[in-house]
């Protein structure tokens, strides 16, 4: 079983690259973020042609997540509210950032964590609050069956300095402030394991490179796309990699896919 996560920065712009990648890398489930399209306009047919089902939760212009699965998923739900209830979910489902579904004995959770814009901005506060709600959401899922969670997504947080090409000044930079790290760490304290780090301990491995600074050429990147597993599932993981090949293409997403292989 292979599960992958990829922030594609618009599924319509990246459609050919994503379907090509899927043909070359026939994973069982592909989690997409930043699809940037309403559900009515999501290109489902090209995925069905490849033998995949698409489960989507999108909005106009921004955000948007999708689960592309070879086998039909069960218990698919979009947003926090179906799991947490309307009261706790509040307005957080206005932005389409959460979708989950079950395949076999694994629940896949696909997340697009808010970026946060700038430190101390309104969006930054939103990001920190969103991560508190996420903890509640995942805690709730842990109490359901199956309790094996594979949590994939663009987390917009680099937890360690080795996840950043140049950590100097990171305390004041979005994605690496102490508050963001603490907020994500609090989520992970539910008992979640960064599966990429099960296999790779050194730095220099990234999943996002800024378009603007030509960061990919010099491998000036950040590792902000993650796959977190519950312990039993982590024991079944035999590999986890970042595929930088699509980032080398013309007109690429600024993120690369991250993949986990499970027994």
Partner DNA sequence: ATGGCCAACCGTGTTGGA
Binding site for DNA (CB under 7 A): 7, 9-10, 12-13, 34, 36-37, 60-63, 114-115, 117-118, 123, 154, 156, 169, 174-175, 208, 210-213, 222, 224, 251, 254-255
Within 8 A by CB and 6+ apart from 1, the residues are 28, 103, 104, 106, 261, 262, 263
- Candidate list 55, 124, 137, 154, residue with the active-site label: 154
Q: In whole angstroms, how close is the CB of 249 to DNA at the nearest point?
A: 11
Residue 248 DSSP class: G
What is the number of other CB atoms lying within 10 angstroms of the CB of residue 193?
17
Residue 73 DSSP class: P
137 is known as an active-site residue: no
- Candidate list 28, 52, 93, 112, residue with the active-site label: 112
For DNA, which is the closer residue by CB, 141 or 152? 152
| Sign of the dihedral through C-alpha 262, 150, 10, 51 | positive
Within 8 A by CB and 6+ apart from 175, the residues are 115, 116, 156, 157, 158, 222, 224
For DNA, which is the closer residue by CB, 109 or 174? 174
112 is known as an active-site residue: yes
For DNA, which is the closer residue by CB, 95 or 239? 95
For DNA, which is the closer residue by CB, 141 or 153? 153
Q: In whole angstroms, how close is the CB of 38 to DNA at the nearest point?
A: 7
Q: In whole angstroms, how close is the CB of 80 to DNA at the nearest point?
A: 17
Q: What are residue 127's phi and psi, to 5 degrees?
A: -60, -45
Q: Copy the structure tokens of residue 80.
A: 């926090």
Q: In whole angstroms, how close is the CB of 52 to DNA at the nearest point?
A: 20
Catalytic amino acids?
112, 154
């Amino acid at each position: 079983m292979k599960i992958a996560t990829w922030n594609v920065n618009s599924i319509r712009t990246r459609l050919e690259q994503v379907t090509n990648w899927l043909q070359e890398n026939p994973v069982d489930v592909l989690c997409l973020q930043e699809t940037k399209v309403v559900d009515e306009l999501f290109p489902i047919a090209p995925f069905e042609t490849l033998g995949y089902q698409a489960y989507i939760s999108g909005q106009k212009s921004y955000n948007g997540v999708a689960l592309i699965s070879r086998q039909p998923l069960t218990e698919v739900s979009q947003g926090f509210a179906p799991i947490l209830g309307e009261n706790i979910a509040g307005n957080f489902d206005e932005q389409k950032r959460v979708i989950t579904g079950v395949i076999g004995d694994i629940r896949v959770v696909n997340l697009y964590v808010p970026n946060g814009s700038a430190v101390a901005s309104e969006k930054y506060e939103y990001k920190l609050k969103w991560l508190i709600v996420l903890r509640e959401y995942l805690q709730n899922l842990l109490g359901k069956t199956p309790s094996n969670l594979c949590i994939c997504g663009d987390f917009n947080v680099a937890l360690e300095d080795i996840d950043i090409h140049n950590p100097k000044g990171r305390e004041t930079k979005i994605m690496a402030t102490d508050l963001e790290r603490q907020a994500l760490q609090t989520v992970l304290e539910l008992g979640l394991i960064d599966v990429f780090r099960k296999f790779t301990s050194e730095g220099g491995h990234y999943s996002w490179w800024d378009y603007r600074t030509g960061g990919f050429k010099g491998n000036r990147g950040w590792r902000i796309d993650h796959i977190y597993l519950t312990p039993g599932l982590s024991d079944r993981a035999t590999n986890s990699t970042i595929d930088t090949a699509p980032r080398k293409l013309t007109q690429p997403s600024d993120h690369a896919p991250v993949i986990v292989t499970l027994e």
